[in-house]
Amino acid sequence: KQEVTQIPAALSVPEGENLVLNCSFTDSAIYNLQWFRQDPGKGLTSLLLIQSSQREQTSGRLNASLDKSSGRSTLYIAASQPGDSATYLCAVPPGNSGGSNYKLTFGKGTLLTVNP
C-alpha cells in the first residue's frame, strides 16, 4: 500500500526566504505526482503536476522536482510572501492509473506560515 509522508509538518519562515517542502512515497511505481495548496476552510487548489517521466515542473516562484527512484519530491518556493501561507499537500496515483484507476494517495501536508 502506498504511503506518502510530508516533512516538516509545520514550517514558519520570515518573508523573502526561499524554502523547500518535502514529500516522500514508498512505492515508486507512480503515474504522476501532484502538489496542492489548501487555504483554511477551503478546498484544494492544484499547483503543479509532474508526470512520472519528468524531473521537474515550474510555475512562477514554485518549482517541483521528482526523483522516482528514491521516492522523493520537493516543492521549492522562492522569495516567500505572507500570501503563500497555507497547507501544502502532495499526492500520488498508482502507476497503473491510465484510464479508470486514477486514485490519489495524499500526504498529511505541511502547514506553512510566512511572517511579514
Partner 1 sequence: NAGVTQTPKFQVLKTGQSMTLQCAQDMNHNSMYWYRQDPGMGLRLIYYSASEGTTDKGEVPNGYNVSRLNKREFSLRLESAAPSQTSVYFCASRGVGTSNQPQHFGDGTRLSIL
Residue whose CB is less far from partner 1, 38 or 74: 38
φ/ψ (deg, to 5) at 86: 180, 180
Residue whose CB is less far from partner 1, 1 or 116: 1
The C-alpha cell that represents 100 in the structure block: 479508470
51 binds partner 1 (CB under 8 A): yes
The C-alpha cell that represents 40 in the structure block: 483554511
Q: Judged by CB under 8 A, which stretch of 11-19, 28-36, 64-72, 75-83 contacts partner 1? A: 28-36
Among 21, 23, 34, 68, binds partner 1 (CB under 8 A): 34
3-state secondary structure of 45: strand
The residue count of the chain comes to: 116
User: Which one, of 58, 66, 18, 19, lies nearest residue 10 by Cα?
Assistant: 19
Q: How many residues bind partner 1 (CB under 8 A)?
A: 27
Q: Judged by CB under 8 A, which stretch of 19-27, 34-42, 63-71, 73-81 contacts partner 1? A: 34-42
For the four alpha carbons of 24, 48, 114 and 87, in that order, the dihedral sign comes to negative
Distance between CA atoms of residues 44 and 67, nearest Å: 24
Stretch 88-107 residues interacting with partner 1 (CB under 8 A): 89, 91, 97-104, 106-107
Write out the residues near partner 1 by the rule CB under 8 A. Answer: 31-32, 34, 36, 41-46, 49, 51-52, 89, 91, 97-104, 106-109
